[in-house]
Amino acid sequence: MIAGLSQILFLASCDQPPQTVASPPFLEVFELAEVIELGEDPTDSIAEIGMFVERRDGGLIVGDRFLPRVRTYARDGSLQAGFGRFGDGPWELRRIGGVAETASGQIVVSSPRKRWLTYLNGDLSPDTLVGTGDNWVFEVFSFGPDIVFYGIGMARSIHDVAVQNGYFHRLVDGGVAWSSWTTPIFGKPYWSGFGDVVGAVAGDSIFAMAMLLYPATILNGAGDSVGTIGTPSLSFRRVPEIEPGAFATTSPGGQDASDVLGTFDLVPRIDVVAGDYLIFTVGELDETKTFFPFRVLHTRLEVYDRHTGTKLFEDVPLPDGVKVLGGGRYLYVLQNPDIPPWRIAKYRLRVGD
């Protein structure tokens, strides 16, 4: 059972050195299955690929990072449909916060600072809007017949966020059944600006984690914490703690926010691959982009058996300049994150071969 995991892979004792985990080359852990190129409508082009989901039929759902557009693609990358226009009214979006496909084949879209979810049919035609109480919704995940979403209640300050009862919520029959899990990052000066929250769903488990802090918490379907998973490698650089107001004023030669950028690591993604494995993507802030929103560079991967909590690999180096998009049957990796054509590599995990 995962609860009470003792898989602390770098536990040192008086007579034993720290245990290590293999860090093989990327192509020893992952096998390239194919590379697809996303089709584009020249009158409705992608600004940047953001949220990404593998559909049950092998197709893809892509949320634009900057535009209020969600698009669907066949498994070969050919464009099928697009939806979304900017605005604050019904069926309008400011930007895409999360996408998910329900068990019935509907597509659910969230938009930050909106207190509802947009349900679309498989062809992206509008179906219904479902309220989320007082919660602003960010990411959404399919959870059996229901939806789990990461969101926060109405907040005027970071203190209002820090004192909330839970950031992950289960939506059942159009209502929030429970709210669970909090993190200290919202109570630390500057931390919430450098890293947010990530999550993943596999089977009857929800994995919730602050990007800056190990481990991930495992929640069950009732929202109860039943254990943790994830341990940092020896190379992982923990975020520094900075005094309140440290960057309020600057002086010649003084410290500012750029002095700490690139000096710590974070986990911008957790993905489920082949049903049984969790992939933690580890990255760092791009030191060449020292203003908000910060850009995270994906640099290496960790692989866990989600059933036992065992870390199988760590510090597996990603190819230079790529971006991990998501999981599913494969690990999907965007080869050219900045400019089209958008080429996505599908990698098969070699574990269990």
pLDDT tens across 160-188, in order?
888 888 999 999 998 999 999 999 999 98
Which sequence spans correspond to the domains of the chain?
26-234+260-349
CA distance linking residue 126 with residue 134, whole number of Å = 23
Q: Using an 8 Å Cβ cutoff, are 314 and 302 in contact?
A: yes
Strand, coil or helix: 293: coil
- Put the strands of the sheet holding 197-202 in their side by side order: 197-202, 205-210, 213-219, 225-229
Top mean-pLDDT range of 27-31, 89-93, 337-341: 27-31
Which tens digits make up the pLDDT trace of 299-340?
999 999 999 999 999 999 999 999 999 999 999 999 999 999
CA distance linking residue 273 with residue 115, whole number of Å = 31
Over the chain, what is the mean pLDDT?
Answer: 89
- State the fold for domain 26-234+260-349: Neuraminidase (2.120.10)
Please name the helix (run of DSSP H) or strand (run of DSSP E) that holds residue 191, with its range, or none.
helix 191-194
* Number of other CB atoms surrounding residue 17 within 10 Å: 8
pTM, 2 dp: 0.91
| Mean pLDDT value of segment 99-106 | 96
Q: What pLDDT is stored for residue 26 in this prediction?
A: 98
pLDDT for 17 beyond 50: no
Distance of CA 253 to the CA centre of its chain: 37
Pick the more confident residue, 61 or 293: 61
Nearest of 258, 318, 306, 250 to residue 282 by alpha carbon: 318
Which tens digits make up the pLDDT trace of 209-223?
999 999 999 999 999
Q: What pLDDT is stored for residue 248 in this prediction?
A: 66
Spatial neighbors of 243 by CB under 8 A, at least 6 apart, are 189
Q: What pLDDT is stored for residue 5 in this prediction?
A: 36
Q: Which residues face 324 on adjacent strands?
A: 333
Q: Locate tokens 């229901």: which residue?
A: 146
* Number of other CB atoms surrounding residue 23 within 10 Å: 16
Q: Which residues face 201 on adjacent strands?
A: 206
pLDDT for 99 beyond 50: yes
Least confident of 58-72, 176-190, 250-264: 250-264
Q: What pLDDT is stored for residue 1 in this prediction?
A: 35
Q: Locate tokens 């429970």: which residue?
A: 178
Q: Which residues face 349 on adjacent strands?
A: 30
Pick the more confident residue, 176 or 5: 176
Q: What pLDDT is stored for residue 228 in this prediction?
A: 98
pLDDT for 4 beyond 80: no
Q: What pLDDT is stored for residue 261 in this prediction?
A: 62
Q: What pLDDT is stored for residue 10 in this prediction?
A: 36
Least confident of 51-55, 94-98, 128-132, 188-192: 188-192
Supply the DSSP symbol for 121. Answer: -
CA distance linking residue 204 with residue 201, whole number of Å = 8
- Regarding beta strands 343-349 and 146-152, do their DSSP bridges make them parallel or antiparallel, or are they unpaired? unpaired
Write out the two tokens for 316.
């597996």
Which tens digits make up the pLDDT trace of 214-250?
999 999 999 999 999 999 999 999 998 887 777 666 5
Distance of CA 307 to the CA centre of its chain: 20
Spatial neighbors of 252 by CB under 8 A, at least 6 apart, are none
Q: Which residues face 52 on adjacent strands?
A: 62
CA distance linking residue 329 with residue 349, whole number of Å = 9
